[in-house]
């Protein structure tokens, strides 16, 4: 189901679907929560981490084109992204990931 999330430039149906699955149902909620915490929710809901997806979301909420992220700003966002991924990975697994770990199929 599409929502008004797609009214934000660069947020397409796939991103909207991932945001909705993470509990971010609309553009107003996304703006209130912010890109960083919305991405945290997406990771916690099972989205795979992708740096580009992270900074595109940040740029979208700033009303900037996704490819406007460069240099020191991009490096700083990379650090925030890496910290966020490490933080989320430190949380206990649930669902299929926990089951795969229990039988030794996901992690070495």
- pLDDT value at residue 105: 61
- Residues 85 and 40: their CA atoms lie apart, in Å, by 8
| Percentage of residues of the chain with pLDDT beyond 90 | 68
Exposure of 98 in the CB half-sphere (CA atoms within 13 A): 6
Summarize pLDDT for 48-87 with one digit per residue, the tens: 999 999 999 999 999 999 899 999 999 999 999 998 988 8
Is 0.75 topped by the overall pTM? Answer: yes
- pLDDT value at residue 2: 42
pLDDT band at residue 14 using 50, 70 and 90 as cut-offs: very high
Q: Is the pLDDT of residue 23 over 80?
A: yes
**What's the token pair of residue 63?**
């009303």
What is the chain's mean pLDDT, rounded? 85
Query: Which residues, 6+ apart, have CB-to-CB distance to 49 below 8 Å?
Result: 43, 81, 85, 88
Per CATH, the number for 4-102 is: 1.10.150.20
Reported residue count of the chain is 108
Task: Of 33, 32, 34, 24, give the one whose Cα is nearest residue 4.
Answer: 24
More confident residue, 77 or 97: 77
Count CB neighbours of 67 within 10 A. Answer: 10
Count CB neighbours of 107 within 10 A. Answer: 8
């Amino acid at each position: 189901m599409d929502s008004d999330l797609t009214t934000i430039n660069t947020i397409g149906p796939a991103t909207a679907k991932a945001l909705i699955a993470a509990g971010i149902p609309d553009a107003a909620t996304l703006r209130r929560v912010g890109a960083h915490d919305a991405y945290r929710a997406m990771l916690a809901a099972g989205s795979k981490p992708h740096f580009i997806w992270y900074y595109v979301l940040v740029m979208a909420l700033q009303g900037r084109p996704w490819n406007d992220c460069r240099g020191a700003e991009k490096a700083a966002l990379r650090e925030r992204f890496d910290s966020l991924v490490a933080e989320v990975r430190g949380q206990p697994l649930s669902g299929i990931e926990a089951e795969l770990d229990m039988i030794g199929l996901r992690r070495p």
